[in-house]
């Protein structure tokens, strides 16, 4: 399902880019090609259509982006533990004093482990 939503988001983005590129910031764009006001889709109707299509595609993109977050594939381990929590648990305390050996090791002597 996540892949399907991602593909639909990709198609929506391409359509949105194309519609925005067709528009002209000065009010021309695709609408400037229609010189006669007697046509069914005159200059004003073309501009209205492009503006409405832009808003609809932007809304669809927003909706699909929110919905896609619900379908992100997760494993059981990822659900139980977040990356931030893991970093907190594995953090080294910067105020901790390092534990250095107190005596100089003698060369040739093997370390003996105390019997418990």
pLDDT, tens digit (0-9, with 9 covering 90-100), for 15-59: 999 998 888 766 555 555 555 544 455 556 677 888 889 999 999
Instruction: Assign 91 a pLDDT band (cuts: 50, 70, 90).
Output: confident
pTM, two decimal places: 0.50
pLDDT, tens digit (0-9, with 9 covering 90-100), for 93-116: 777 777 777 777 777 666 556 555
CA distance linking residue 84 with residue 87, whole number of Å: 5
3-state SS of the chain: helix, strand, coil percent to 5? 60, 0, 40
């Amino acid at each position: 399902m996540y892949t399907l939503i991602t593909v639909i988001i990709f198609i929506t983005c391409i359509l949105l880019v194309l519609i925005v590129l067709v528009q002209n910031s000065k009010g021309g764009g695709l609408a400037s090609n229609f010189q006669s006001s007697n046509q069914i889709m005159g200059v004003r109707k073309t501009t209205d259509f492009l503006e409405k299509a832009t808003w609809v595609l932007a809304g669809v993109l927003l909706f699909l982006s929110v919905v896609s977050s619900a379908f992100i594939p997760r494993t059981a381990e990822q659900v139980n533990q977040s990356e931030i929590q893991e970093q907190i648990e594995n953090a080294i305390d910067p105020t901790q004093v390092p534990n250095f050996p107190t005596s100089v090791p003698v060369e040739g002597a093997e370390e003996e482990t105390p019997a418990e």
